[in-house]
Amino acid sequence: MPSNLSNLKRDSIITGATRLFLEQGFNNVSMEKVAQAAPVSKATLYNYFDSKHNLLVAVVDELCHAISQTFETLSTDINKVESNLKQIALSFMDLIYSKEGIAIYGLIIAECKTFPELGILIYQVALKDSLLQLEQYLQALNNTTTFNIDDTAFAANAFFGVLKGEQHFQCLLNIKALPTQLEKQTYINKIIPLYMQGFLHDTH
């Protein structure tokens, strides 16, 4: 089990790398710069991350941590389904509409052109895990016999897709300001009831 000191060093490395990637861009940041920003020795840095690409994966994984934590708090109480879905939606939108999320997205797309393997790693930590967690939650709802979700995998994919919509692409292109918390909450309050009507069929 990693020691507290080991965890602190790893967190410090990820924090320093995140700041540098956002300020200078992925290609302009060397592992030496990350070591200085942490601050740790280069040997220590390579003990934790053997490449800059793996470090970027860790940065993305850390950004997605809040979503994973959200899933850990959910229950299959049928009276809390709507509030649970709204909670997941807000965690997801807080990530994809954050300044860090938008900037890192751009870095990833640019880098994947020359390093396709990175895309697979990023997909695993940034989307696939969340999709699987949501699919498992929807399947758990099916197991209560209160709901009948025809295709939990499709329903999970549609959930995240409808939350991104056109606005996310506009933000990526920098032609629209990032939504405020009130705007995100208003959108979620509109879309979740519609989602439930379309996918969460009540068996009663």
Task: Give the C-alpha separation, 183 to 195, whole Å.
Answer: 18
Mean pLDDT of 14-32: 93
pLDDT digits (tens, 9 = 90+) for 79-113: 899 999 999 999 999 999 999 999 988 888 888 88
Q: Which domains does the chain have, with CATH numbers?
A: 4-50 (1.10.10.60), 59-202 (1.10.357.10)
For residue 92, the model assigns a pLDDT of 94
For residue 5, the model assigns a pLDDT of 64
Task: Give the C-alpha separation, 122 to 120, whole Å.
Answer: 6
Which residues are within 8 A (CB) of 128 and not within 5 positions of it... i.e. 6 or more apart? none
Token pair 């320093």 in the structure block, residue: 16
Task: Give the C-alpha separation, 112 to 155, whole Å.
Answer: 28
Mean pLDDT of 5-25: 90
**Count, residues in the chain:** 204
Mean pLDDT of 174-192: 95
Which residues are within 8 A (CB) of 81 and not within 5 positions of it... i.e. 6 or more apart? 141, 147, 196, 200
For residue 149, the model assigns a pLDDT of 92
Q: What is the mean pLDDT of the chain?
A: 90
